[in-house]
Structure 1
Amino acid sequence: MKISKVAVAALLAVGGCSGASSSTPQAKAPSAPASAAAVRVGAAGSACELPVSFELAEDWEPKAVDVEALGELAELARVGVFTVRCEVDAKPAGNIGFLRVHVAGGLSGAPRDHLKMFVKASARGKEVSGVTYSDVQIGGGQAAEVTWESYSKELDHQSKYSAFALNTKDGAMVVQLSPFGADEHPGMLPAFQLAERTLTINS
Protein backbone atom coordinates (compact mmCIF):
# COMPACT_ATOMS: atom_id res chain seq x y z
CA MET A 1 0.00 0.00 0.00
CA LYS A 2 1.32 3.45 -0.91
CA ILE A 3 1.53 5.67 2.15
CA SER A 4 1.87 9.45 2.13
CA LYS A 5 4.44 10.69 4.67
CA VAL A 6 2.57 13.97 5.05
CA ALA A 7 -0.75 12.22 5.57
CA VAL A 8 0.63 9.79 8.13
CA ALA A 9 2.38 12.55 10.06
CA ALA A 10 -0.86 14.54 10.21
CA LEU A 11 -2.80 11.51 11.36
CA LEU A 12 -0.28 10.62 14.05
CA ALA A 13 -0.39 14.17 15.40
CA VAL A 14 -4.02 13.68 16.44
CA GLY A 15 -2.86 11.31 19.19
CA GLY A 16 -0.69 14.07 20.65
CA CYS A 17 -1.47 17.71 21.24
CA SER A 18 -1.78 19.25 17.80
CA GLY A 19 -2.62 18.75 14.17
CA ALA A 20 -6.38 18.11 14.38
CA SER A 21 -9.01 20.08 12.54
CA SER A 22 -11.05 22.48 14.64
CA SER A 23 -14.24 21.53 12.79
CA THR A 24 -15.74 18.28 14.06
CA PRO A 25 -17.87 16.32 11.57
CA GLN A 26 -21.40 15.32 12.54
CA ALA A 27 -20.94 12.11 14.50
CA LYS A 28 -23.18 9.14 13.85
CA ALA A 29 -25.11 7.77 16.79
CA PRO A 30 -22.91 5.13 18.46
CA SER A 31 -24.10 1.58 17.99
CA ALA A 32 -22.64 -1.90 18.10
CA PRO A 33 -21.27 -2.57 14.59
CA ALA A 34 -22.79 -5.59 12.85
CA SER A 35 -20.56 -8.58 12.20
CA ALA A 36 -22.23 -9.47 8.88
CA ALA A 37 -19.81 -9.02 5.99
CA ALA A 38 -17.40 -7.38 8.41
CA VAL A 39 -14.08 -6.07 7.17
CA ARG A 40 -11.05 -7.50 8.97
CA VAL A 41 -7.57 -6.05 9.19
CA GLY A 42 -4.31 -7.78 10.03
CA ALA A 43 -4.30 -10.85 7.80
CA ALA A 44 -1.97 -11.24 4.81
CA GLY A 45 -3.24 -9.12 1.93
CA SER A 46 -5.24 -6.74 4.17
CA ALA A 47 -4.51 -3.02 4.52
CA CYS A 48 -2.21 -3.75 7.49
CA GLU A 49 -0.43 -7.07 7.92
CA LEU A 50 -0.16 -7.79 11.65
CA PRO A 51 0.44 -10.69 14.05
CA VAL A 52 -3.29 -10.55 14.82
CA SER A 53 -6.47 -9.74 12.92
CA PHE A 54 -9.75 -8.18 14.03
CA GLU A 55 -12.99 -6.73 12.68
CA LEU A 56 -13.34 -3.05 11.87
CA ALA A 57 -16.33 -0.89 12.68
CA GLU A 58 -18.31 0.35 9.70
CA ASP A 59 -16.57 3.11 7.68
CA TRP A 60 -13.36 3.03 9.74
CA GLU A 61 -10.41 3.12 7.31
CA PRO A 62 -7.14 1.24 8.01
CA LYS A 63 -3.72 2.31 6.73
CA ALA A 64 -0.32 0.74 7.26
CA VAL A 65 2.34 2.99 8.82
CA ASP A 66 5.81 2.76 7.29
CA VAL A 67 7.98 4.25 10.03
CA GLU A 68 11.15 4.16 7.93
CA ALA A 69 9.46 6.35 5.30
CA LEU A 70 8.67 9.03 7.91
CA GLY A 71 12.30 10.11 8.23
CA GLU A 72 12.70 12.86 10.85
CA LEU A 73 9.01 12.47 11.77
CA ALA A 74 9.49 8.83 12.80
CA GLU A 75 9.34 9.69 16.51
CA LEU A 76 5.66 10.58 16.04
CA ALA A 77 5.05 6.88 15.38
CA ARG A 78 6.78 5.69 18.55
CA VAL A 79 5.52 5.44 22.12
CA GLY A 80 8.52 4.39 24.18
CA VAL A 81 9.60 0.98 22.85
CA PHE A 82 6.34 0.58 20.91
CA THR A 83 6.06 1.50 17.23
CA VAL A 84 2.85 2.11 15.27
CA ARG A 85 2.26 -0.53 12.62
CA CYS A 86 -1.30 0.34 11.64
CA GLU A 87 -3.83 3.08 12.28
CA VAL A 88 -7.55 2.99 11.58
CA ASP A 89 -9.12 6.37 10.90
CA ALA A 90 -12.52 7.10 12.50
CA LYS A 91 -13.18 10.30 10.55
CA PRO A 92 -15.20 8.61 7.73
CA ALA A 93 -17.50 7.26 10.47
CA GLY A 94 -18.00 10.73 11.98
CA ASN A 95 -15.40 10.93 14.75
CA ILE A 96 -11.95 12.47 15.03
CA GLY A 97 -9.40 9.93 16.18
CA PHE A 98 -7.85 6.54 15.50
CA LEU A 99 -7.50 2.96 16.56
CA ARG A 100 -3.73 2.34 16.49
CA VAL A 101 -1.80 -0.92 16.64
CA HIS A 102 1.64 -0.64 18.27
CA VAL A 103 4.23 -3.43 18.44
CA ALA A 104 7.41 -3.72 20.53
CA GLY A 105 9.53 -6.32 18.77
CA GLY A 106 11.07 -8.93 21.06
CA LEU A 107 9.26 -7.70 24.17
CA SER A 108 7.45 -10.29 26.28
CA GLY A 109 6.11 -10.55 29.82
CA ALA A 110 2.89 -9.60 31.57
CA PRO A 111 0.44 -7.64 29.35
CA ARG A 112 -0.42 -5.37 32.29
CA ASP A 113 3.26 -4.39 32.52
CA HIS A 114 3.25 -3.56 28.80
CA LEU A 115 0.35 -1.19 29.38
CA LYS A 116 2.05 0.48 32.32
CA MET A 117 5.08 1.16 30.12
CA PHE A 118 2.84 2.41 27.32
CA VAL A 119 0.79 4.80 29.47
CA LYS A 120 3.93 6.26 31.05
CA ALA A 121 5.64 6.76 27.68
CA SER A 122 2.54 8.29 26.08
CA ALA A 123 2.23 11.02 28.74
CA ARG A 124 4.83 13.26 27.06
CA GLY A 125 4.52 16.05 29.60
CA LYS A 126 0.76 15.79 30.08
CA GLU A 127 -0.99 15.14 33.38
CA VAL A 128 -2.28 11.56 33.56
CA SER A 129 -5.23 10.59 35.76
CA GLY A 130 -7.95 7.99 36.21
CA VAL A 131 -5.75 5.07 35.17
CA THR A 132 -7.73 1.83 35.52
CA TYR A 133 -6.24 -1.58 34.64
CA SER A 134 -7.89 -4.98 34.35
CA ASP A 135 -6.70 -8.45 33.32
CA VAL A 136 -8.75 -10.01 30.52
CA GLN A 137 -8.74 -12.80 27.96
CA ILE A 138 -8.40 -11.70 24.33
CA GLY A 139 -7.98 -14.02 21.36
CA GLY A 140 -7.93 -17.02 23.68
CA GLY A 141 -4.94 -15.79 25.67
CA GLN A 142 -3.95 -13.64 28.63
CA ALA A 143 -4.25 -9.90 28.01
CA ALA A 144 -4.87 -6.67 29.87
CA GLU A 145 -6.72 -3.43 29.23
CA VAL A 146 -6.55 0.10 30.56
CA THR A 147 -8.47 3.36 30.40
CA TRP A 148 -6.92 6.70 31.33
CA GLU A 149 -7.20 10.45 30.85
CA SER A 150 -4.56 13.04 30.10
CA TYR A 151 -4.59 16.81 30.31
CA SER A 152 -2.36 19.27 28.48
CA LYS A 153 -1.93 22.51 30.44
CA GLU A 154 -0.34 24.16 27.44
CA LEU A 155 -3.37 23.57 25.22
CA ASP A 156 -6.02 23.27 27.96
CA HIS A 157 -7.06 20.02 26.33
CA GLN A 158 -8.50 16.88 27.97
CA SER A 159 -8.21 13.48 26.30
CA LYS A 160 -9.40 10.00 27.23
CA TYR A 161 -7.89 6.76 25.95
CA SER A 162 -8.45 3.01 26.12
CA ALA A 163 -5.96 0.29 25.20
CA PHE A 164 -5.40 -3.43 25.45
CA ALA A 165 -2.17 -5.42 25.31
CA LEU A 166 -1.18 -9.01 24.58
CA ASN A 167 1.86 -10.98 23.49
CA THR A 168 2.27 -12.08 19.86
CA LYS A 169 4.92 -13.83 17.78
CA ASP A 170 6.20 -10.37 16.77
CA GLY A 171 6.47 -9.14 20.35
CA ALA A 172 4.22 -7.22 22.71
CA MET A 173 1.29 -5.49 21.03
CA VAL A 174 -0.84 -2.59 22.25
CA VAL A 175 -4.05 -1.58 20.48
CA GLN A 176 -4.98 1.96 21.52
CA LEU A 177 -8.20 3.89 21.03
CA SER A 178 -6.97 7.45 20.51
CA PRO A 179 -9.79 10.02 20.20
CA PHE A 180 -8.85 13.65 19.70
CA GLY A 181 -10.72 14.69 22.83
CA ALA A 182 -12.45 13.09 25.80
CA ASP A 183 -15.86 13.88 24.32
CA GLU A 184 -15.08 11.66 21.31
CA HIS A 185 -14.33 8.61 23.48
CA PRO A 186 -17.90 7.28 24.05
CA GLY A 187 -18.77 7.35 20.35
CA MET A 188 -15.57 5.53 19.38
CA LEU A 189 -15.56 2.95 22.17
CA PRO A 190 -17.76 0.40 20.31
CA ALA A 191 -15.11 0.13 17.58
CA PHE A 192 -12.44 -0.58 20.20
CA GLN A 193 -14.64 -3.19 21.86
CA LEU A 194 -15.32 -4.81 18.48
CA ALA A 195 -11.58 -5.16 17.82
CA GLU A 196 -11.07 -6.65 21.27
CA ARG A 197 -13.97 -9.06 20.95
CA THR A 198 -13.15 -10.36 17.45
CA LEU A 199 -9.33 -10.49 17.67
CA THR A 200 -7.62 -13.69 16.61
CA ILE A 201 -3.92 -14.57 16.58
CA ASN A 202 -2.54 -15.08 13.07
CA SER A 203 -0.69 -18.34 12.53
Structure 2
Amino acid sequence: MKTTYTSAGVALAFVLAVSGCSADPAPQAPQAPQAPPALAASSAPAAPPAAAAGATVGAEGSACELPVSFQAAAGWKAKKVEAKGELAALAKVGDFTVVCEIDAKPAGNIGFLRVHVADGLSGAPAEHLQEFMKAAIGKREASNTDITDVQIGGAQAAEGSWETLDKEYDIRSKYTAFALNTKKGIVVVQLAPLDTGEFTSMQPAYELARTTVKIDD
Protein backbone atom coordinates (compact mmCIF):
# COMPACT_ATOMS: atom_id res chain seq x y z
CA MET A 1 0.00 0.00 0.00
CA LYS A 2 1.40 3.41 -0.99
CA THR A 3 1.70 6.04 1.81
CA THR A 4 1.45 9.78 0.96
CA TYR A 5 3.16 12.37 3.16
CA THR A 6 1.90 16.00 3.21
CA SER A 7 4.32 18.95 3.52
CA ALA A 8 2.83 19.87 6.93
CA GLY A 9 3.42 16.40 8.23
CA VAL A 10 7.04 16.40 7.04
CA ALA A 11 7.65 19.81 8.66
CA LEU A 12 6.22 18.70 12.00
CA ALA A 13 8.39 15.58 12.00
CA PHE A 14 11.46 17.73 11.31
CA VAL A 15 10.69 20.11 14.24
CA LEU A 16 10.22 17.22 16.69
CA ALA A 17 13.46 15.61 15.59
CA VAL A 18 15.51 18.81 15.98
CA SER A 19 14.04 19.80 19.36
CA GLY A 20 14.33 16.29 20.79
CA CYS A 21 10.66 16.32 21.74
CA SER A 22 8.50 13.29 21.38
CA ALA A 23 4.90 12.49 22.17
CA ASP A 24 4.32 9.99 24.96
CA PRO A 25 2.38 6.95 23.72
CA ALA A 26 -1.07 6.44 25.15
CA PRO A 27 -1.20 3.76 27.87
CA GLN A 28 -2.49 0.39 26.68
CA ALA A 29 -4.45 -2.19 28.62
CA PRO A 30 -2.45 -5.35 29.42
CA GLN A 31 -3.13 -8.20 27.02
CA ALA A 32 -4.16 -11.63 28.16
CA PRO A 33 -1.55 -14.32 27.47
CA GLN A 34 -2.15 -16.17 24.21
CA ALA A 35 -2.80 -19.87 24.19
CA PRO A 36 -0.02 -21.95 22.62
CA PRO A 37 -0.68 -22.92 19.00
CA ALA A 38 -2.47 -26.21 18.53
CA LEU A 39 -0.29 -29.14 17.55
CA ALA A 40 -0.52 -30.03 13.91
CA ALA A 41 -2.48 -33.15 13.16
CA SER A 42 -0.37 -36.17 12.37
CA SER A 43 0.33 -36.55 8.66
CA ALA A 44 0.85 -40.32 8.95
CA PRO A 45 -1.55 -42.24 6.69
CA ALA A 46 -4.33 -44.12 8.41
CA ALA A 47 -4.00 -47.89 8.58
CA PRO A 48 -6.21 -49.73 6.09
CA PRO A 49 -9.34 -51.30 7.60
CA ALA A 50 -9.40 -54.96 8.60
CA ALA A 51 -10.19 -57.35 5.77
CA ALA A 52 -13.62 -58.95 5.63
CA ALA A 53 -13.49 -62.74 5.70
CA GLY A 54 -14.19 -64.70 2.55
CA ALA A 55 -13.72 -68.40 1.81
CA THR A 56 -11.79 -70.81 4.01
CA VAL A 57 -8.57 -72.03 2.38
CA GLY A 58 -6.92 -75.33 3.24
CA ALA A 59 -9.89 -77.19 4.68
CA GLU A 60 -11.16 -80.40 3.12
CA GLY A 61 -13.26 -79.61 0.08
CA SER A 62 -11.78 -76.12 -0.36
CA ALA A 63 -9.95 -74.89 -3.46
CA CYS A 64 -6.62 -75.88 -1.83
CA GLU A 65 -6.47 -78.72 0.69
CA LEU A 66 -3.52 -78.00 2.97
CA PRO A 67 -2.03 -79.12 6.31
CA VAL A 68 -3.28 -75.76 7.64
CA SER A 69 -6.43 -73.73 7.06
CA PHE A 70 -7.21 -70.01 7.29
CA GLN A 71 -9.67 -67.37 6.15
CA ALA A 72 -9.01 -65.67 2.83
CA ALA A 73 -10.11 -62.06 2.41
CA ALA A 74 -13.43 -61.43 0.69
CA GLY A 75 -13.02 -61.27 -3.07
CA TRP A 76 -9.68 -63.07 -3.14
CA LYS A 77 -9.70 -66.26 -5.22
CA ALA A 78 -7.78 -69.38 -4.16
CA LYS A 79 -6.34 -71.79 -6.72
CA LYS A 80 -4.38 -75.00 -6.32
CA VAL A 81 -0.95 -74.93 -7.95
CA GLU A 82 0.26 -78.06 -9.71
CA ALA A 83 3.37 -77.14 -11.66
CA LYS A 84 4.78 -80.06 -13.62
CA GLY A 85 7.47 -80.66 -16.19
CA GLU A 86 9.38 -77.55 -17.26
CA LEU A 87 7.19 -75.34 -15.06
CA ALA A 88 8.02 -77.25 -11.87
CA ALA A 89 11.16 -75.16 -11.26
CA LEU A 90 9.09 -71.96 -11.31
CA ALA A 91 7.08 -73.20 -8.34
CA LYS A 92 10.18 -73.76 -6.21
CA VAL A 93 11.58 -71.35 -3.63
CA GLY A 94 14.60 -73.14 -2.23
CA ASP A 95 13.29 -76.32 -0.58
CA PHE A 96 9.73 -75.01 -0.70
CA THR A 97 7.09 -75.59 -3.36
CA VAL A 98 4.11 -73.35 -4.06
CA VAL A 99 0.99 -75.46 -3.61
CA CYS A 100 -1.69 -72.76 -3.41
CA GLU A 101 -2.04 -69.12 -4.34
CA ILE A 102 -4.83 -66.74 -3.44
CA ASP A 103 -5.18 -64.07 -6.12
CA ALA A 104 -5.93 -60.49 -5.04
CA LYS A 105 -6.96 -59.23 -8.50
CA PRO A 106 -10.70 -59.93 -8.05
CA ALA A 107 -10.55 -57.65 -4.99
CA GLY A 108 -8.76 -54.87 -6.91
CA ASN A 109 -5.11 -55.49 -6.00
CA ILE A 110 -2.13 -56.95 -7.84
CA GLY A 111 -0.43 -59.76 -5.99
CA PHE A 112 -0.94 -63.05 -4.20
CA LEU A 113 -1.01 -64.77 -0.85
CA ARG A 114 1.01 -67.92 -1.55
CA VAL A 115 1.31 -71.11 0.47
CA HIS A 116 4.61 -72.98 0.22
CA VAL A 117 5.33 -76.42 1.66
CA ALA A 118 8.66 -78.20 2.27
CA ASP A 119 7.69 -81.85 2.67
CA GLY A 120 9.34 -83.68 5.54
CA LEU A 121 11.15 -80.68 7.02
CA SER A 122 10.84 -79.94 10.72
CA GLY A 123 12.67 -78.02 13.42
CA ALA A 124 12.89 -74.33 14.25
CA PRO A 125 10.52 -72.37 11.96
CA ALA A 126 12.78 -69.29 12.14
CA GLU A 127 15.68 -71.16 10.58
CA HIS A 128 13.56 -72.44 7.71
CA LEU A 129 11.99 -69.02 7.18
CA GLN A 130 15.47 -67.51 6.91
CA GLU A 131 16.38 -70.00 4.18
CA PHE A 132 13.09 -69.29 2.42
CA MET A 133 13.78 -65.55 2.49
CA LYS A 134 17.25 -66.00 1.02
CA ALA A 135 15.85 -68.07 -1.84
CA ALA A 136 12.97 -65.65 -2.44
CA ILE A 137 15.28 -62.62 -2.55
CA GLY A 138 17.66 -64.26 -4.98
CA LYS A 139 19.89 -61.75 -6.75
CA ARG A 140 17.79 -58.71 -5.94
CA GLU A 141 19.01 -56.05 -3.52
CA ALA A 142 17.44 -56.65 -0.08
CA SER A 143 16.93 -54.40 2.94
CA ASN A 144 15.03 -54.23 6.24
CA THR A 145 15.07 -57.99 6.74
CA ASP A 146 13.65 -59.19 10.03
CA ILE A 147 12.59 -62.52 11.57
CA THR A 148 10.83 -62.96 14.92
CA ASP A 149 9.74 -66.03 16.89
CA VAL A 150 5.97 -65.89 17.42
CA GLN A 151 2.97 -68.03 18.28
CA ILE A 152 0.56 -68.71 15.41
CA GLY A 153 -2.34 -71.10 15.54
CA GLY A 154 -1.37 -72.05 19.07
CA ALA A 155 2.05 -73.34 17.99
CA GLN A 156 5.63 -72.11 17.77
CA ALA A 157 6.14 -70.20 14.54
CA ALA A 158 8.23 -67.45 12.97
CA GLU A 159 7.31 -64.30 11.11
CA GLY A 160 9.52 -62.24 8.84
CA SER A 161 9.52 -59.22 6.56
CA TRP A 162 11.88 -57.88 3.92
CA GLU A 163 12.12 -55.40 1.07
CA THR A 164 13.72 -55.77 -2.33
CA LEU A 165 14.78 -53.57 -5.22
CA ASP A 166 14.63 -54.95 -8.73
CA LYS A 167 17.16 -52.69 -10.44
CA GLU A 168 16.32 -53.98 -13.91
CA TYR A 169 12.71 -52.78 -13.67
CA ASP A 170 13.21 -50.21 -10.87
CA ILE A 171 10.50 -51.81 -8.72
CA ARG A 172 10.61 -51.73 -4.93
CA SER A 173 8.62 -54.45 -3.22
CA LYS A 174 7.86 -55.36 0.37
CA TYR A 175 7.02 -58.83 1.65
CA THR A 176 5.97 -60.57 4.82
CA ALA A 177 5.55 -64.24 5.63
CA PHE A 178 5.10 -66.69 8.47
CA ALA A 179 6.38 -70.24 8.87
CA LEU A 180 5.16 -73.09 11.07
CA ASN A 181 5.48 -76.84 11.52
CA THR A 182 2.76 -79.19 10.32
CA LYS A 183 2.42 -82.96 10.02
CA LYS A 184 3.47 -82.72 6.35
CA GLY A 185 6.44 -80.40 6.86
CA ILE A 186 7.20 -76.71 7.14
CA VAL A 187 4.56 -74.39 5.71
CA VAL A 188 5.31 -70.79 4.70
CA VAL A 189 2.48 -68.39 3.91
CA GLN A 190 3.80 -65.34 2.07
CA LEU A 191 2.22 -62.05 1.03
CA ALA A 192 3.63 -61.32 -2.43
CA PRO A 193 2.40 -57.94 -3.76
CA LEU A 194 3.58 -56.23 -6.93
CA ASP A 195 5.20 -53.31 -5.09
CA THR A 196 5.26 -51.42 -1.79
CA GLY A 197 2.03 -49.59 -2.59
CA GLU A 198 0.15 -52.84 -3.10
CA PHE A 199 1.68 -54.20 0.11
CA THR A 200 -0.07 -51.60 2.25
CA SER A 201 -3.52 -52.26 0.83
CA MET A 202 -3.05 -56.06 0.80
CA GLN A 203 -1.62 -56.43 4.31
CA PRO A 204 -5.05 -56.73 6.01
CA ALA A 205 -5.67 -59.91 3.99
CA TYR A 206 -2.37 -61.32 5.28
CA GLU A 207 -3.28 -60.39 8.86
CA LEU A 208 -6.64 -62.13 8.46
CA ALA A 209 -4.91 -65.31 7.30
CA ARG A 210 -2.32 -65.21 10.09
CA THR A 211 -4.83 -64.68 12.87
CA THR A 212 -7.22 -67.42 11.69
CA VAL A 213 -4.69 -70.20 11.10
CA LYS A 214 -5.61 -73.69 12.26
CA ILE A 215 -3.06 -76.50 12.06
CA ASP A 216 -4.26 -80.00 11.20
CA ASP A 217 -3.74 -82.57 13.96
Q: What TM-score do you get using the length of structure 2 for normalisation?
A: 0.76
- Structure 2: runs of 5+ lacking an equivalent: 1-46
| Equivalence for 1:24 | none
Q: Is contact 1:64-1:85 (8 Å) kept?
A: yes
Instruction: Give the counterpart of 2:206 among 155, 171, 192.
Output: 192
Per-residue deviation, 1:182: 1.2
1:1-203 equivalences under 5 Å are: 30-35=48-53, 38-68=54-84, 71-203=85-217
- Contact 1:128–1:151 (Cα < 8 Å) also in 2: yes
Question: How far is 1:61 from its partner?
Answer: 0.3
Return structure 1 stretches of 4+ with deviation > 6 angstroms.
none
Question: Which residue is 1:3 aligned to?
Answer: none
1:67 Cα deviation (Å)?
2.1
CA distance in 2, matches of 1:91, 1:155: 21
Structure-2 separation of matches of 1:111 and 1:196: 15
Q: Quick one: percent identity of the two aligned structures?
A: 60
How many aligned positions are there? 171
What displacement does 1:40 show? 0.5
Query: What is the CA-CA distance between 1:156 and the residue it aligns to?
Result: 1.3
- Counterpart-to-counterpart distance in 1, 2:189 and 2:208: 12
Structure 1 or 2, whichever has the larger Rg, is: 2
> How far did 1:124 drift?
2.1
Kindly provide the CA deviation profile for residues 34-73 of structure 1, in whole angstroms up to 9, marking residues without a partner as x: 35xx4211011100000000001110000000122xx212
Q: Which amino acid aligns with 2:115?
A: V
2:195 & 2:51 partners in 1: Cα distance? 22
Gap change, CA 1:92 and 1:30, over 3 Å in 2: farther
Which stretches in structure 1 are left out of the alignment for 5+ residues?
A: 1-28
Kindly indicate whether the alpha-carbon contact (under 8 Å) linking 1:43 and 1:202 is maintained by their aligned counterparts in 2: no
- Distance in 2, matches of 1:133 and 1:103, equals 19
Shift of 1:122: 0.9
Question: CA RMSD for the aligned pairs?
Answer: 1.3
Q: TM-score, normalised by structure 1?
A: 0.81
Q: Which has the higher contact order (CA 8 A, sep 6+)?
A: 1
Distance (whole Å) between structure 2 residues aligned to residue 116 and residue 91 of structure 1 = 28
Amino acid at match of 1:32: A
CA contact (8 A) 1:61 1:90 kept: yes
